[in-house]
Amino acid sequence: MIRMLVSVALVAMIAFDARADVLTDPNEIVARANLAAYYAGADGSAEVRMLISDVQDRRQRRQFTVLRRDIADGGDQQFLVVFSQPSDVRGTVFLVDKHIDRDDDRWLYLPGLDLVKRISAGDKRTSFVGAHYFYEDVSGRRPTEDTHELIETTDTAYVLRHVPIDVGSVEFGSYVTWIDRETFLPMKIEYTNPAGRLYRRVEVLEVATFDGHPTVTVSRVSDLSSGGRTDMQFRYIQYDIGLPADVFAERSLRNPPREWLQRPTD
């Protein structure tokens, strides 16, 4: 009986496997992962909470709402990030015009200093407001910046190794991603420094589907050399809400578009 069940299960798995498209082109996998992770819907909004913990488990919290609008799938995008917590940084706003063919345009508004600043692109691998996430983790790294190699295809994931083309622009030597074969969401990313030491891990802890888009709702980044980590939780996720272009204008820095920042009431 048990043996029969096992056989059935095996057959079922093989059958499932046969049905799924098994991709072999790493560039195609990366392109689809990029779309799944950063371009779901034509636009979207979410409220994000970050819990930043150091090795002694001392915590800081950040809460912000992020609005996103795609100019083109896999292409340029716009982001507006508005902070609500802690109260002394409330009203701090980031505006980002993400470009595929050139450096992003980034603006910052600090209400306490009543100051709008343009941020020079410089380096995208700096901490995002003190979290263990980098700016680039939030906005997405361009697939064209690395070479990709499919090193393994498991039952659930494509495992790829990525090597930066411009070695001098990043702190890692390479990274490996585990991309879910069904959703194409990168479920785990491990960064290795140029000397070959693993020092950083990003992992997805929970996924849920909204408007047909499988979406990361809880993720964690661990800084393996300091022992710190940041947990990021996404809530009130919405897609295709029809965000107008003027929401992403410089004017929104000082006057964030309240109507788009409110939580959906079911």
Centroid of chain to Cα 208? 15
Closer to other proteins by CB, 74 or 173: give it: 173
| 23 bridge partner residues | none
CB of 114 to other proteins, least distance (A): 9
34 binds other proteins (CB under 8 A): no
Q: Which two tokens stand for residue 206?
A: 């929970």
Residue range at the interface with other proteins (CB under 8 A); choices 22-30, 118-126, 178-186, 243-251 = 118-126
Sign, CA torsion 196/199/200/201: positive
Long-range contacts of 80-85, Cβ-Cβ distance < 8 Å, separation of 24 or more: 80/247, 80/248, 80/252, 80/256, 80/257, 82/256, 82/261, 83/129, 85/61
Judged by CB under 8 A, the residue of 27, 60, 147, 153 near other proteins is: 60
CB of 111 to other proteins, least distance (A): 7
Q: Which of residues 194-213 bind other proteins (CB under 8 A)?
A: 195, 197, 199
249 binds other proteins (CB under 8 A): no
Closer to other proteins by CB, 8 or 205: give it: 205
131 binds other proteins (CB under 8 A): yes
CB of 192 to other proteins, least distance (A): 13
Residue 142 CA to residue 104 CA, distance in Å, equals 11
Residue 46 CA to residue 68 CA, distance in Å, equals 9
Preceding amide of 86 cis, omega within 30 = yes
CB of 119 to other proteins, least distance (A): 6
Residue 31 CA to residue 143 CA, distance in Å, equals 7
Judged by CB under 8 A, the residue of 15, 56, 155, 242 near other proteins is: 56
Closer to other proteins by CB, 110 or 159: give it: 110
Give the C-alpha distances (Å, rounded to integers) separating 50 from 7, 62, 84, 95, 189.
45, 5, 12, 19, 19
Closer to other proteins by CB, 41 or 164: give it: 164
Centroid of chain to Cα 56? 26
Closer to other proteins by CB, 144 or 226: give it: 226
Judged by CB under 8 A, the residue of 61, 165, 208, 255 near other proteins is: 61
32 binds other proteins (CB under 8 A): no
Residues of this chain that bind other proteins (CB under 8 A):
49, 53-61, 63, 85-89, 92, 108, 110-113, 115-120, 122-123, 125-131, 135, 168, 171, 195, 197, 199, 223, 225-226, 228, 263
